[in-house]
């Protein structure tokens, strides 16, 4: 779904197919746990939450709050509805353009930032800088994206689809430290990367 009424600086090629199709690609809890987004990791900020595919799972795995945002009103509605159906009171979803206005949270205020399927954006280093800003020292960034080494059923065009190595280098340019590449055994189509704020 790609609501053409949305304005602002929506990332290129970030429209979504139907939720029921999109959600066949992921095992959200497994991915989040493998990337260390669980337990006492502090509050979480999620850039471009889409249907809330990972939002609910994160809210169930962590002790803190999940601040989720999306530029598309329909995505925020879907995420909020999903949270309410699951009875999760620690999800705060808002309509927001993080390119134009950042994520809206104070400096150093969260323990984890989720950048899932979004770093094909026009200015990935700018987005990673915003993630660094909002993280407390020692805080973590979890990144996943579509693999480039095999054909995949969805994902951005090959010319803008980043590899994990490219994302690592953009993260380092934004002042983050490499932690590890994370093989996602529970996911056929994606790679994982963990970085942290020094």
Ligand X SMILES: C[S@@+](CC[C@H](N)C(=O)[O-])C[C@H]1O[C@@H](n2cnc3c(N)ncnc32)[C@H](O)[C@@H]1O
Which listed residue (31, 32, 69, 93) binds ligand X by CB under 6 A? 69
Burial grade of 39 (CB within 10 A; 0-12, 13-18, 19 or more) = exposed
16 belongs to the binding site for ligand X (CB under 6 A): yes
Which listed residue (117, 135, 174, 193) binds ligand X by CB under 6 A? 117
Q: Residues binding ligand X: what is the number (CB under 6 A)?
A: 22
Query: Which listed range, 48-56, 104-112, 159-167, 186-194, lies at the site for ligand X (CB under 6 A)?
Result: 48-56
Q: Which two tokens stand for residue 116?
A: 């899932």
14 belongs to the binding site for ligand X (CB under 6 A): yes
- Rounded-to-integer distance, Cα 177 and Cα 192, Å: 15
Closest contact distance (angstroms) between CB of 177 and ligand X is 23
Check: CB of residue 47 under 8 Å from CB of residue 99: no
188 to 15, 18, 113, 145, 146: CA distances (angstroms): 21, 19, 23, 11, 9
- Rounded-to-integer distance, Cα 73 and Cα 5, Å: 9
Specify the residue, 104 or 198, whose C-beta has the smaller distance to ligand X: 104
Local structure of 122: helix, strand or coil: coil
79 belongs to the binding site for ligand X (CB under 6 A): no
Which listed residue (37, 41, 57, 75) binds ligand X by CB under 6 A? 75
Specify the residue, 117 or 140, whose C-beta has the smaller distance to ligand X: 117
Which listed residue (72, 78, 132, 142) binds ligand X by CB under 6 A? 72
53 belongs to the binding site for ligand X (CB under 6 A): yes
- Rounded-to-integer distance, Cα 105 and Cα 146, Å: 28
DSSP code of residue 149: S
Specify the residue, 37 or 75, whose C-beta has the smaller distance to ligand X: 75
Q: Which two tokens stand for residue 7?
A: 């304005």
Contacting residues toward ligand X, per CB under 6 A = 9-11, 14, 16, 48-50, 53-54, 69-72, 75, 96-99, 116-118
């Amino acid at each position: 779904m790609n609501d053409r009424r949305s304005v602002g600086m929506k990332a290129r090629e970030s429209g979504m197919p139907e939720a029921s199709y999109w959600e066949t690609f992921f095992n959200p809890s497994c991915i989040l746990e493998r990337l260390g987004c669980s337990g006492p990791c502090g509050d979480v900020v999620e850039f471009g939450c889409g249907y809330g595919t990972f939002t609910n799972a994160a809210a169930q795995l962590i002790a803190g709050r999940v601040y989720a945002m999306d530029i598309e009103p329909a995505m925020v509605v879907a995420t909020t509805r999903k949270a309410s159906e699951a009875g999760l009171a620690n999800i705060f979803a808002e309509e927001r353009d993080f390119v134009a206005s950042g994520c809206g949270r104070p400096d150093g205020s969260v323990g984890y930032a989720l950048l899932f399927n979004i770093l094909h954006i026009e200015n990935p280093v700018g987005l990673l800088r915003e993630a660094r800003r909002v993280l407390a020292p020692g805080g973590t960034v979890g990144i996943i994206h579509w693999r480039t080494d095999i054909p995949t059923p969805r994902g951005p065009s090959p010319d803008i689809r980043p590899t994990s190595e490219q994302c690592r280098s953009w993260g380092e340019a934004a002042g983050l430290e490499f932690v590890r590449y994370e093989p996602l055994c529970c996911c056929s189509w994606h790679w994982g990367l963990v970085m942290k704020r020094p």
